[in-house]
Structure formats: structure tokens, C-alpha cells
Amino acid sequence: MTITLKVSENTKQKMIEYFKDKRRPKTPPYAIFQADEADTVVTLYESGKAVFQGISADIDVAIWRDVERRLNPNKPIEETNSKDKKKKEKFKIKVDPKIYNANTIGSDEVGTGDYFGPIVVTSAYVKKEDIKFLEELGIKDSKKLTDEKVLEIVPKIIDRIPYNSIILTNQEYNQKYNENMNMNKIKAVLHNKVLLNLINENHPYDYVIVDEFAKPYVYYNYLKDVPNVFRKITFLIKAESKSLSVACASLISRYIFIKEMNKLSKDWGIELPKGAGPNVDEMGYQIVQKYGFDKLKEIAKLNFKNTEKIKNYKKEAN
């Protein structure tokens, strides 16, 4: 897998510093460096293009995408993926007009890739009459919208679109997460709850849609001990591009997540970064130094690899 991310000058400087001890001896033409990060080869070019190659390229690019978004919140993310390119060449994302133009209930979540902050899962109901309104707001490109745009347009959405959201705090997440309750199982349980909550409001729908984060049989297996399970789900890959109800659910979840992160930051008197990159580790170090390691239970997902890095830092600091 090869993923290219265009980074700004401030992100370039962060990458140069981070990879200074991981560089390969030889540098490709026009590149600042080429480095190894576990199973990923990272090449940063003078033009600002950062190329991630390897089986874990998607994980490593996500870290630097979050850094770029944090440092340059008003700048659109420019990213290309060889895997996506091949898929597009083979078969472009096919939107089924029968589903897209129907009355639908969709669900999506935010916060599962963020060390700090809660997990927010939302279901949203979109009827046929709302499609034009949502398209005019630019909902079809929900993943490309900046935080500022999300804060601007979501109040217009929630004023018109029925929805149901659940916020899982870090304390609750850390209590639930164990060998028998992994991230995907937590997601499945929360999706089932928000879907049932909205379905029970008796909105007339044609389809209930969930982005396929697990194969359907795996999803339902996660819910085998749940007494009330909704089973008539249409699972779609990249559902937010194929269903406006999923796109709305994604944006509302993101809106709530931004608000919750802002509240946490205000309560703690520090600006908590999103994602799980190096800047998150730095903030974790500062929190441990100031408040002690146990305080992370209140604002972080302790099963993330960031926790081990912070623990190691604590040992070194002592």
C-alpha cells in the first residue's frame, strides 16, 4: 500500500524532527529524508509530499494527517491512496440510487481513533424530502469538511434531521475494554443502541444503513449477548458516500466530539490534540508530569499504544 499526504511547512518540520533518528543512509532524489517506521517506509519530499509505503501505511499516515489537521485546521487535506486508486480504476464508488433516494436511517461514529476524548455514535433519519437540502449544504463530502465547517453546518442539520447520539466517556470506555470487549464490539453495541432508539421513534424508513466496519456475521456475533438486536441492516463500505443519513450521522458525531474535546480542554486548561500521533504523546507526557499517570483514565483510551509510550517516558523522567 502506498499513500501520499501533502503536508504544510510546519508539519514538515515536525516530521523532520520525529524521523531524525530513523532515517535511512540513502535519500531519494528531491527528498529530505527516507525513514523506517516499523513496517512502513516514509519518504518526505521537498515539495511537501510525504509518501508512506508498507502494510501499515494507513496507520502511520493517519498519525500525520491528524498533525496536519491540528496545525492547519482551515486547510483541506490532500491525500491519495494507491489502494483507492486501484479500486477506483476497477470500480468507482457505486451509489445505488434506490438506497440514496430512499427514506433511510444511518449510523456512524467518531473518536475511535483518538487517544483523548470520548467515542460518539449517532444515528440519523433522512427522508426523501431532505435530500436536496443536505446536498446544498455539501453533506456528500462529509469526510472532507474542516472542523470549522462542521461547527457551521451541523446546527442547521440537527434543526431539521431527527437523530440520536450516545457519548461514551473515557472512564466508561476504560471500564468496558477488556479481552472480551474490544473496540469493534463496543462500536457494535453502541450502533445497535442508537439505531433502536431512533427506530423506536417510528420514522417511516426504507433502509437502515451502517458503515461496514466488520463483516455482518461478525457484527451480529458481537451482539450475541444483547437482548434486543436490530437485524435488518444494509451494510455498505464507505457508507457516508452512499447514504446521506450515514453522512449526517458522521457529521453530528464529529460535531459532538469537537464540542466535548473543547469542553475537556477548557476544564483541564490545556488544548487536547486529536488523533494518536506524536503530538498526543507529548501532551500525555505533560499531563503525567503535572497530574500523575492515573489522571489519564479520565481523558484517554488506555489500551492505545500511546499509553505505553507515556509509561516509558514516566520511567525515564524518574
**What's the burial of 220, exposed, middle or buried (CB within 10 Å: 0-12/13-18/19+)?**
middle
Residue 204 has pLDDT above 80, yes or no: yes
Same topology between domain 2-90 and domain 97-263: no
Q: How far apart are CA 120 and CA 187, in angstroms?
A: 10
The CATH H-level (homologous superfamily) assignment of domain 97-263 is: Ribonuclease H-like superfamily/Ribonuclease H (3.30.420.10)
- Closest alpha carbon to 232 in 185, 199, 186, 183: 199
The secondary structure of residue 178, as a DSSP letter, is B
Residue 56 has pLDDT above 50, yes or no: yes
SS3 at position 163: strand
Tell me what the pLDDT averaged over the chain comes to: 90
Whole-prediction pTM: 0.73
pLDDT for 200 equals: 96
The secondary structure of residue 21, as a DSSP letter, is T
pLDDT for 195 equals: 98
- Rounded alpha-carbon distances, angstroms, from residue 265 to 150, 171, 199: 19, 16, 34
pLDDT for 84 equals: 60
For residues 119 and 109, the answer to whether their CB atoms sit within 8 Å is yes
**pLDDT tens-digit series, residues 213-248:** 889 999 999 999 999 999 999 999 989 999 999 999
The CATH H-level (homologous superfamily) assignment of domain 2-90 is: TATA-Binding Protein (3.30.310.10)
Q: How far apart are CA 71 and CA 97, in angstroms?
A: 38
Q: How far is CA 276 from the centre of its chain?
A: 10
Task: Dump the DSSP string for 41-89.
Answer: EEEEETTSEEEEEETTHHHHHHHHHHHHHHH-TTSPPEEEEHHHHHHHH
How does residue 85 score in pLDDT terms, banded at 50, 70 and 90? low
Domain ranges of the chain: 2-90, 97-263, 271-312
pLDDT for 317 equals: 47
